Amino acid sequence: MNLSYTIRRYFLISVKSNIRFVTNSVNLLDVRGKIPENPVNTLKDVSDITPYFPESFNLSAYINTSQSLQNLVHLNVNLSKIEKKPHIVNKILKLDLVNDIQKHILFLKDYIHVDNIGPFITKNPLILCEAIEDLEVRVNYLQSKHFNQDDIKRILSRNPFWLMFSTLRIDKRLGFFQQKFSLSGNEIRQLATKQPKIITYNLHHVNTNSFVIKEEMGFDDNEIKFLILDKPKLWMLNQKSLLQRFNYLHNVMKIQHSTILRHSNVLLYRNFLIKQRHMFLEKLGRAQYNPNKENYVPITALYEDTDVEFCRNYGKCHVDDFNIFLKTL
Amino acid sequence: MVQIRNAAAAYRSLNGLICVYKPSCVSVRHVQHIIVTNLCRDLNALPDRPLEKRVEIVGPTNAPMQVKLLPNYADDPRVCGPRYIDKDFRCSWASHLGLFSSGVLLLGINDGTNLTYLLNTARPTRAFKVHGQLGKATDTYFWNGRTMERATFGHVTRAKVDRVVAHMQAAHQKTMYELSGLHMDSQTTYDLASEGLLRPANSKLPVIYGIKCVHFEPPNFTLEIQSVNEYEKYLWSLVHDLGVQLKTVAHCTGVQCIRLGKFGLDLSLLRKHWQMEHILHNMDQCQQIIEQNENLIKPKSAHLTV
């Protein structure tokens, strides 16, 4: 089969349409049934004639004839996830194997571990459509801001969308975080390395969560600075559930701000997990979170470890008792 | 427990009823979604069948052509998507529980959806624990509503609650006969009524067969209610009515379904156990209960089955 021809055909095809092509099977049978009358015809090489490629709504229809798609699969790219967005597929299909895809992958190889290149492209296939020069400029920008090589590697592999942002936007965003939380140069680098996703996150969302943490929860500026460097994930949570978690910890369980600050992991767990363990301890009369009194239960007990270990260490009972308790809620 | 060999065998055995414990503030639809996605996740993690091969005939057509057996890329889960997706599962509930109710919920998976339909038309009774609080009335009759009225409740005693509750139960006896679909003056009705309680013929109106106050510690109290066709809001309003009849006000603080027909709390799966192994085990247990009690699915008389 003529590969270049099929690929060229294949690039022209729009995957958006989901019309299926139906061949007229009756006609085909008629042709097959007859013995060819002219033996000269059979001597002609017709292998360069390929069957008509019908339009398809997924990529698996084309993969067996497309070398570039096969190569992407060998890289461990999940095409089934990419094809959910037809506008991206249309762009990806028009790429050239040697010129575009190979160059980009060779570029990415320097910053991302080989095993992670597939998942990286799955998450952000449009990186293959960006110009290599732009990507180099964006990496150079990070170097100019004194991020060391390991940091850059971590940033790029943890946030596949970082390279899609122009240096101007990244600069603005880094400035925004630095100003908003009054961070020093080292601290902003620490934040960007620790949680690169927050830099490219929706800034409106970050603003509303800052409001929740400052005004509604009542942490002061220094505590907020500590929190964003310790748990940047808090700024990426749904503000409603974040407030609900804090409300339960502070107003129902009567846990002080300072304790929450020390164990800020507690805010990352879903409310029902904390709630059911706390209610169980309360039922047993063991909900005592003050380290200065006897029978102290650390707040980490509410989210760490499995239920079995929690019951053994802090509930002093069997896990079945805990399960029976859960069926009374 | 059944040893699961591969995904296809596991999928074939996923037909039947399961009994789960629905937490409050999680809707029934969400429970269905969680269970189906968990099943897909667990099935996709199981050993998959080998990839299909593809025959390709290549070479010039006027010379002997080559037949090649090549791997079929289109069959790879990375290309055609995961083997099991949400749409592969049908899931339906036997009887609905409101958003704020918790407790026993029966779900039918794949062929089990048929069973949930039969179970629903057989109208098994449900037992509820309804928690209430005296002294405050809200606009929704539930704790999350706006406070409409406050009243004292010092005069309410256990005996008074029992009396009002017994009166409410008696008032529902008449509805039971009206909803059974029988003619009130006939001999058949008399014969049936002399033998026991009757099932309602349709699902239009709630019927209460028993109310009992099981816990009383003012201002909190708990009622245990056995009923058919009830719904969340109805149970809330029942608590509200109780308050009014006790010459005070009350609102509901929680509704928990503790039994549906023969399916009790001990059978129900907790949220942390909504995984394939546990679901398969639970399905077997539910199947046994259905086989032991044929009346649960196909009741032969108009009497209350469970």
Percent of chain A with pLDDT over 70: 87
Helix (H) and strand (E) counts in chain B: 8, 12
pLDDT at A30 (0 to 100): 44
Both B304 and B250 in one domain: the answer is no
Both B57 and B95 in one domain: the answer is no
pLDDT at A38 (0 to 100): 54
Question: In chain B, which residue ranges form alpha helices assigned H by DSSP?
Answer: 7-13, 28-45, 77-80, 112-122, 158-179, 187-195, 232-245, 276-292
CATH number of B197's domain: 3.30.2350.10
Interchain CB contact of B80 with A (< 8 Å)? yes
Closest Cβ–Cβ partner in B58, B73, B272 for A73: B73
Q: Looking at residues A1-21, what average pLDDT do you find?
A: 38
Q: Looking at residues B12-31, what average pLDDT do you find?
A: 94
**pLDDT at position B86 over 90:** yes
Structure tokens at B160: 């008074």
| A-contacting residues in B 210-249 (Cβ below 8 Å) | none
pLDDT at A20 (0 to 100): 37
What is the per-residue pLDDT across A241-275, written as a single tens digit (0 to 9) for each?
A: 999 999 999 999 999 999 999 999 999 999 999 99
Q: Which of A114, A95, A80, A19 is nearest to B73 (CA)?
A: A80
How far is A221 from chain B, CA to nearest CA, in Å? 34
Q: Contact at 8 Å (CB) between A163 and A125?
A: no
CA distances from A41 to A38, A44, A275, B221 (A): 6, 6, 80, 94
Domains: count for chain B: 3
**pLDDT at position B236 over 90:** yes
* DSSP codes joined into one string, A255-298: --HHHHHHTGGGGGS-HHHHHHHHHHHHHHT-----TTSSS---
Residues of B in contact with A43 (CB under 8 A): 62
What is the per-residue pLDDT across A205-239, written as a single tens digit (0 to 9) for each?
A: 999 999 999 999 999 999 999 999 999 999 999 99
Give A27's pLDDT tier (boundaries 50, 70, 90). Answer: very low
What is the per-residue pLDDT across B118-171, written as a single tens digit (0 to 9) for each?
A: 998 888 899 999 999 999 999 999 999 999 999 999 999 999 999 999 999 998
Both B112 and B29 in one domain: the answer is yes
Residues of the domain holding B63: 49-82
- ipTM strictly over 0.90? no
Q: Provide the mean pLDDT of chain B.
A: 90
Closest Cβ–Cβ partner in B58, B81, B102 for A80: B81
Closest Cβ–Cβ partner in B62, B74, B78 for A42: B62
How far is B194 from chain A, CA to nearest CA, in Å? 37
Triad A55, A61, A63: Cα angle to 5°: 125
Give A100's pLDDT tier (boundaries 50, 70, 90). Answer: confident
Question: In chain A, which residue ranges form alpha helices assigned H by DSSP?
Answer: 3-12, 25-33, 39-43, 67-74, 79-82, 86-93, 103-109, 117-123, 132-144, 149-158, 167-180, 185-194, 196-199, 203-211, 221-230, 239-247, 257-262, 271-284, 307-310, 319-326
Which one of A38, A46, A58, A64 would you mutate to disrupt binding with B, by most B Cβ within 10 Å of its Cβ?
Answer: A64
Chain centroid, CA B172 distance in Å: 24
CB atoms within 10 A of CB A133: 8
Both B139 and B253 in one domain: the answer is yes
